[in-house]
Structure 1
Amino acid sequence: MDALKKRRLSLMKRLVTLIFIIVILWASSLGTEVSISSLMDGLPGMGSLFLEMLPPDWSYFSYVTEPMLETIRMAVIGTTYGAIVAIPFALLSSRNVVKWPVIYFPFRFVMNLIRTIPELLLAALFVPVLGIGDNAGIMALSVFSFGVIAKLAYESIEAIDNGPLEAMTAVGANKIQWIFYGVVPQVIASFVSYTLYCFEINVRAAAILGYVGAGGIGLYLNNTLKLFQYQRVSTIIIYTLIVVVIIDMISNKCREKLI
């Protein structure tokens, strides 16, 4: 009887969960006024746009190579700056490194606050300050990278084995030695993996920051769309896809080696 009751209870929970999901989806579709009919009505227009993008303007590849390299450089520098700043924040946000809530709570609050701001909005904020160009994009990617890497890094630090730390404390190691020889060796592989993952995200993000004047290939994509040069648009999309796939493959191999 107990087994039958547990099975019925499990089925009821699944049914309630399913109903809850359906209600959420239905309420969301009503709030956003999404309908299958409107989507079907727009399909012919999407097909016409796709046909206008064919064939791609292959000669445009050489013209956008430098902006694409600029986009990659923005991602490299932005990720590096963000990762460097994330190191002390991750350490000061970890409860097993800093024992006092008055210290680690403010650092966590800053990280959470930064992670709520998308990179496109960050770029829009930096462009009026730094002007149109790469600097605004690099700063936006740096701040975004800092928020992501610091969050993941401090969670890794809090999950490390405390045995080596207790042993070092017992033999009189100071806090600096405690961090460098007890904490860093346990999280360095994860930290590098998070940095590579963030670099993958930043390459994609840097490709659209040009929409707000932050430089890179996104600026050319925005201009070609405004001028209805759809064949060049498809060239930029294909170029970006190739670069992102190559970077993803290299990054995945590196992360597999580390983990």
Structure 2
Amino acid sequence: MIKSKGTRIGDWIIAFICVLCVLVCLLPVLNILARSLSSADALVRGEVLLLPKGLNFDAYMTVLGDSKYTWSLLWTAILTLIVTIWSMFMTVMCAYPLVYDNLKGKKLIMAVIIFTMYFSAGIIPSYLLLKELHLLNNPLVLILPGSISVFYVIIMRSFFFGIPESLKESAELDGAGPLRVLVSIYLPLSTPVLATLALFYAVGRWNGYFDALMFMNDRTYFPIQLLLYNILNSITSVEVATQEGFSSPGLSETIKSATVMFATVPILLVYPWLQRYFISGVTIGAVKG
């Protein structure tokens, strides 16, 4: 089919906007990568933009050779895996019963769930509650409080509503109970939304640092993002720089850039595996209901 002139112009405009968005996202990453691979002297002179100057891998050797960084990365990966599995379990268990019309108090339950999406107690009551539950400075404080998202529950519920009712009814006629229907019908047909929400939960936990900053004092359980936060915000004097293992301002900047890449690249590697589910999971789950 031959496109009209107006359609071709529109395609070029859309392509230009897409390229511009890619550059806006990509250029800062390239700059950080170049800084992490450059010499300390080149950084001090301000010569590094998108290509490394005085190529060396000293910063990465320093980061990888420090158990503080490697353990933090390993702990964050373990934490992300646990949180993703637990949060997906909680989300499915919350969304699935809401599919049944005969669920007693269904409207009240939905009203309470939606209410929590718009109103929260705030950080101080949350801190006092976690203190009473003896969760402060406990690794569980990074798992339990944020284990479920109301918005994701609504997306999951909407997706479940899009599955034909006849499939559930036929399974029930064959003697299947609610859990069997969930495992045999709903979950296999919900792969796109499951993968999408799992990605959201994983990225949210990997990038999260505020809960650890507020509720954790034990550096052993600091996630990589909090460690990065401390590095980027604490190196303000020669004393602190020496404590963190930095011997010069240029080396400080190089290692900070290497740490940023160290914390960013692992979660980026997850996207290609889930990309084919991403768009369908978000759109179908968001518009049906």
TM-score category (smaller protein): 0.5 to 0.7
Match for residue 18 of structure 1?
Answer: none
TM-score normalised by L of structure 2: 0.54
* Cα offset, 1:166, TM superposition: 4.0
**Residue 194 (str. 1) matches residue 197 (str. 2):** yes
Match for residue 216 of structure 1?
Answer: 223
**Residue 160 (str. 1) matches residue 163 (str. 2):** yes
Structure 2 unmatched runs, 5+: 1-42, 49-57, 217-221, 242-251, 282-289
Report the more deviating stretch, 78-87 or 217-226: 217-226
Contact 2:91 2:148 in 1 (8 A): no
Number of aligned residues = 197
TM-score normalised by L of structure 1: 0.60
Structure 1 residues 193, 222: closer, same or farther in 2, change over 3 A? Answer: closer
* Cα offset, 1:72, TM superposition: 1.8
Which runs of structure 1 show a deviation greater than 6 angstroms over 4 or more consecutive aligned residues? none
**Residue 105 (str. 1) matches residue 107 (str. 2):** yes
Match for residue 48 of structure 1?
Answer: none
2: distance between equivalents of 1:233 and 1:127? Answer: 33
* Cα offset, 1:181, TM superposition: 4.4
Q: Secondary structure at the match of 1:136?
A: helix
Structure 1 unmatched runs, 5+: 1-50
Query: What are the within-5 Å matches in structure 2 for residues 31-110 of structure 1?
Result: 57-58=59-60, 59-63=62-66, 64-94=69-99, 97-100=100-103, 102-110=104-112
Contact 1:75 1:203 in 2 (8 A): yes
1: distance between equivalents of 2:176 and 2:273? Answer: 39
Identical residues among aligned pairs (%): 10
2: distance between equivalents of 1:235 and 1:131? Answer: 31
Contact 1:200 1:244 in 2 (8 A): yes
Report the more deviating stretch, 59-68 or 73-82: 59-68
2: distance between equivalents of 1:62 and 1:130? Answer: 32
* Residue identity opposite 2:91 in structure 1: A
Report the more deviating stretch, 186-195 or 235-244: 186-195
* Cα offset, 1:86, TM superposition: 2.0
Deviations 1:19-60 (A, max 9, x none): xxxxxxxxxxxxxxxxxxxxxxxxxxxxxxxx67x8994313
* Residue identity opposite 2:235 in structure 1: L
* Cα offset, 1:159, TM superposition: 1.2
Contact 1:61 1:236 in 2 (8 A): no
User: Which structure shows the bigger proportion of residues in helix conformation?
Assistant: 1
**Residue 227 (str. 1) matches residue 235 (str. 2):** yes
Contact 1:82 1:149 in 2 (8 A): no
2: distance between equivalents of 1:136 and 1:117? Answer: 21
Highest RCO, 1 vs 2 (Cα 8 Å, sep ≥ 6): 2
1: distance between equivalents of 2:86 and 2:139? Answer: 14
Match for residue 273 of structure 2?
Answer: 250
Structure 1 residues 213, 80: closer, same or farther in 2, change over 3 A? Answer: same
* Cα offset, 1:67, TM superposition: 0.5
Deviations 1:182-201 (A, max 9, x none): 54443355324422332233
What's the RMSD between the two structures over aligned residues?
3.6
Structure 1 residues 127, 75: closer, same or farther in 2, change over 3 A? Answer: farther
